[in-house]
Amino acid sequence: MEQTSTKTSERKARFETPSHIELKTVYRASDLAGFDPERDLGEPGAYPFTRGVYPNMYRGRLWTMRQYAGYATARESNRRYRYLLEQGQTGLSVAFDLPTQMGYDSDHPLAHGEVGKVGVAIDTLADMEVLFEGIPLDRVSTSMTINATAPILLAMYLAVARKQGVSWDQVSGTVQNDILKEYIARGTYIYPPGPSLRLCTDIFEFCSRFVPKWNVISISGYHIREAGATAVQELAFTFGNAITYVQAALARGLSVDEFAPRLSFFFNVHNHFLEEVAKFRAARRIWARLMRERFRARDPRSMMLRFHAQTAGSTLTAQQPEVNVVRVTLQALAAVLGGAQSLHCNARDEALGLPTEEAALLALRTQQVIAYESGVADTVDPLGGAYAIESLTNEIERRVFEYLERIEAIGGMLRAIEIGWVQKEIHESAYEYQRAVESGEQIVVGVNRFVVPEERPIPVLRIDPEIERAQVDALRRIKAERDAAAVSRTLAELEEAARSTENLMPYIIRAVEAYATLGEISDCLRRVFGEHRESAAL
């Protein structure tokens, strides 16, 4: 007995989750004092949705297997999408290159060397047409990870649907459209927060009227977590952003039940299995209570937190990359046990570069094994009622509401971002974690323990530098062939509308249909809104 105790203390002096929630040796019913199963747990598909947003969850329909992909040109990415769909993927998820995310055309000086590198390059509607060639937009849902230029990419997507003869009420998918987290954690913003919120809300309003199956935002905790936040901070800052978006939509005159059913979320799945499962269960309960108690939502769909999950890129290692398959499998399993509506599994080689086709296929197969072989999808919320899981769910919820109260005391999320408070909280958590890794307190297999002196190299995807030249040449051809007068007219109309309070989506759609470029449209809005520059104080 003494030997066991000694070994345990040597392995870890204090057992706690990454959010510093202390873990007990054994959990008992007494650890759930004050917990009311009817109030706090309920039934799947019913308020507060702790156990899932649908009564039969995966027994009725599996989560969408939505592998994130995009690189080089639209033609190359289209081949990858069609390949993954043939292999059983059930939804698309588009990665855009940095120039596209930042509102620069491929021929802009700042785009040099970045075209097609971390995603697909999209300059005009012509690129979007190629990207979805042979993919029926009335039968495939698409998620687009895009924020500052979200209105432009959504406009292009809707224009492609129209060219395919697909009515907008049949188009389904999600646009990330979460600009606030860009100021917190990622940095691909263009305009100041005020105009950026206006563009977000324009999408809310437009889609609620014309694209009813479209998720108007994917409020993202993923990137907040990747920047170093804990699980509790991931939820707190995500919901802080969500509250801000809801308030902006209400200020526009929309009713909460008019747009809230089309809000969705995007969360990270990290390594601590029990905390991650509990995190997702707590997230559903928090959102349900916020929508019913704070915003007086009446439609149950407004209270249902639907989320996409992605395994944690920041946990992947360049050392012993095959071990990443194990990490991703555990993370994906946590997402499923936590009740995700869609899931992306990272590939084993993503710490080294963009996924090869072989690695991307293995990542998809990971989801399929969990879905069809593990049995975990055969019953709803299989870990529900476990003392440890319910205790962690309760504690995460409590701590998130404490954070939300602190944010309110500061003056709301926008104010907390402007003064750098949110960023500081994340930076401190990131520093603490890195210090633990470097001291060896936090073990990372293959990095600071169980290291292999010489490793066998694995194939890495390389982007041909000639792709940038080809993309620029194609852009120049479009500019030479299009109706220049129509481009000038639609851009002038857009700029005039931007100086008013009109919804800009119809103007952006007309501009993209005239083959105005993403950069031209972004520059038009830059002239009106200006560009955001991060304060040196941050």
**pTM: predicted TM-score of the whole model, two decimal places:** 0.94
Say how many C-beta atoms besides its own lie within 10 A of residue 506's C-beta.
Answer: 16
What is the C-alpha separation between 151 and 206, in angstroms, rounded?
A: 10
DSSP class of 31: G
Strand 142-145 and strand 92-95: pairing? parallel
What is the C-alpha separation between 169 and 174, in angstroms, rounded?
A: 14
DSSP symbols for 249-299: HHHHT--HHHHGGGEEEEEEE-S-HHHHHHHHHHHHHHHHHIIIIIS---S
Q: Which CATH superfamily is domain 29-439 in?
A: Methylmalonyl-CoA mutase (3.20.20.240)
What is the C-alpha separation between 175 and 63, in angstroms, rounded?
A: 18
In terms of C-beta density within 10 A (0-12 exposed, 13-18 middle, 19 or more buried), how is residue 23 classed?
Answer: middle
For the chain, the maximum distance between any two Cα atoms, rounded to a whole number of angstroms, is 84
How far apart, in Å, do the first and last CA atoms of the chain sit?
Answer: 52
Q: Which two tokens stand for residue 128?
A: 């979007």
Domain ranges of the chain: 29-439
One-letter amino acid of 30: S
* Sheet with 307-311: strands ordered across: 64-65, 342-344, 307-311, 263-269, 217-220
One digit per residue, the tens of pLDDT, for the chain of length 538 reads: 334 444 434 456 679 999 999 999 999 999 998 888 889 999 999 999 999 999 999 999 999 999 888 999 999 999 999 999 999 999 999 999 999 999 999 999 999 999 999 999 999 999 999 999 999 999 999 999 999 999 999 999 999 999 999 999 999 999 999 999 999 999 999 999 999 999 999 999 999 999 999 999 999 999 999 999 999 999 999 999 999 999 999 999 999 999 999 999 999 999 999 999 999 999 999 999 999 999 999 999 999 999 999 999 999 999 999 999 999 999 999 999 999 999 999 999 999 998 999 999 999 999 999 999 999 999 999 999 999 999 999 999 999 999 999 999 999 999 999 999 999 999 999 999 999 999 999 999 999 999 998 888 888 888 888 999 999 999 999 999 999 999 999 999 999 999 999 999 999 999 999 999 999 999 999 999 999 987 654 4
